């Protein structure tokens, strides 16, 4: 009876580990979806309204929790604070790309800013497409492998 409990418990732990990996990958996908939406919002704003960047970012309501956290950190920077961007679900190079994107906002004239935003939007959209395809293909694999690994550990402990 204790053996079955150990096998079930290790399977559950394996499942949770796989689910955490899946959730992290899905969060990255949603991050880039939100970043693409942010670029689109900024492009539309610069083209038609020309509001301040801080007001556009304050009114932006898209993306995942990680993107919202990074935008809050950027708001602090715009208010005169230091910009310390947490990586969250992103890799170090992805976080650096996003940081450069955010720090580049408002540094150029309108036409150059639009060109830069269009470039970033295309880059973020391509990255979103890559991550979506990968998650659609491999997303459930993380959960299944975690469950099977946990079950294997449980059987070995019997």
In a domain, 9, yes or no: no
In a domain, 152, yes or no: no
In a domain, 88, yes or no: yes
Contact between 30 and 64 under an 8 Å Cβ cutoff? The reply is yes
Contact between 40 and 120 under an 8 Å Cβ cutoff? The reply is no
Instruction: Return left, alpha or beta for 150; rule: phi > 0 is left, psi -120 to 50 is alpha, else beta.
Output: alpha
Long-range contacts, 132-138 (Cβ 8 Å, 24+):
132/29, 134/25, 135/22, 135/25, 135/26, 135/29, 138/25
Q: What is the pLDDT of residue 1?
A: 63
Domain count, the chain: 1
What is the separation, in whole angstroms, between the first and last Cα of the chain? 10
In a domain, 132, yes or no: yes
* 34-44 per-position pLDDT tens digit: 999 999 999 99
Which structural domain range is residue 101 located in?
25-138
Q: What is the pLDDT of residue 152?
A: 81
Q: What is the pLDDT of residue 61?
A: 83
53 vs 116: CA distance, rounded Å: 15
Query: pLDDT under 70 in the chain at which residues?
Result: 1
In a domain, 12, yes or no: no
* 79-97 per-position pLDDT tens digit: 787 888 887 888 888 988 9
Q: What is the pLDDT of residue 151?
A: 79
In a domain, 102, yes or no: yes
In a domain, 156, yes or no: no
In a domain, 119, yes or no: yes
> What is each CA distance from 101 to 134, 138, 152, in whole angstroms?
24, 29, 45
């Amino acid at each position: 009876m204790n053996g079955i409990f150990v096998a079930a418990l290790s399977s559950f732990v394996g499942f949770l580990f796989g689910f955490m990996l899946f959730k992290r990958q899905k969060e990255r996908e949603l991050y880039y979806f939100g970043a693409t939406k942010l670029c689109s919002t900024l492009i539309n704003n610069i083209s038609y309204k020309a509001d301040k960047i801080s007001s556009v970012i304050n009114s932006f309501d898209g993306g995942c929790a990680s993107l919202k956290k990074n935008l809050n950190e950027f708001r602090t920077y715009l208010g005169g604070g230091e910009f310390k961007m947490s990586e969250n679900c992103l890799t170090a190079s992805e976080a650096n790309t996003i940081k450069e994107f955010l720090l580049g906002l408002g540094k150029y004239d309108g036409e150059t800013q639009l060109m830069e935003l269009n470039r970033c939007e295309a880059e973020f959209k391509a990255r979103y497409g890559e991550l979506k395809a990968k998650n659609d293909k491999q997303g459930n694999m993380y959960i299944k492998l975690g469950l099977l690994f946990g079950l294997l550990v449980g059987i070995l402990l019997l």
